[in-house]
Amino acid sequence: MAYRETQRTRANAEARRAGIERATRHVIARGGFASASVAAVAVEADCSAGSIYTYFSSRDELLRLVFAQAAGHELEVIAGTVAEAATASQIAESTVEVFVRRAVAGRRLAHALLLEEVPEPVQSERLRLRRGYVAAIGAALDRAGGTQIPAEVVARSIVGSVGENLVDILDPAAPNPSPTEIETLIRALTTFTRSALGEP
């Protein structure tokens, strides 16, 4: 008799797959992508290494999927933030505020998502994430109007400047930034984004 997948076995398989994905996120959040070996994920997920390959074709595919899920959530947060802003200045300021505070709150994961050396499939997702940020911010700026510089150029400037200024702060080898350092960075980046918009 041919095997027929039942609703229960399908649900169990989906639960096991979700558990492996969740375990992978936990491992990455603690030690970055470099720490997310199949063996480490298997320990975290309380399963065998072989069972991971039942649900994912390779480690790179698992990492790519988990990156895409985490990145998609971060993009949704930024897109929702800029959608609530009424002016170009508010869009820029809220992007800086939310981006920096979320990155600092989850430093290890933020470093992994933004800066860590990763396999090519994950790097492709990272580029997709950056383009998503630019598209969301650019669309909001187009809606708000009032900018003399093309919205896409301003959006790329904001994304690039925030990311570059987080390099040292997110470095896992560096100490946690102080509240004063965080506030100083937010003020400086806010001033920069206003200048990118042609505002004082």
CATH class of the domain comprising 64-197? mainly alpha
Predicted confidence at residue 200, as pLDDT, reads: 60
Cβ atoms within 10 Å, residue 164: 10
Asked whether residue 171 carries a pLDDT value surpassing 70, the answer given is yes
| Sign of torsion over alpha carbons 74, 77, 83, 88 | negative
pLDDT over 70, % of the chain: 96
pLDDT tens for residues 97-148?
999 999 999 999 999 999 999 999 999 999 999 999 999 999 999 999 878 8
Task: Please say whether the beta carbons of 95 and 137 come within 8 A.
Answer: yes
For 1-56, the fitting CATH number among 1.10.287, 3.40.50, 1.10.10, 1.10.150 is: 1.10.10
What single DSSP character describes residue 34? G
User: Does the pLDDT of residue 2 top 50, yes or no?
Assistant: no
pLDDT at 51 over 70: yes
Region of 145 (left: φ > 0; alpha: ψ -120 to 50; beta: rest) is left
Is residue 164 scored above 70 in pLDDT? yes
pTM of this prediction exceeds 0.75? yes
Average pLDDT of the chain, as a whole number: 91
Q: So where are the chain's domains? A: 1-56, 64-197
Q: Is the pLDDT of residue 194 over 90?
A: no
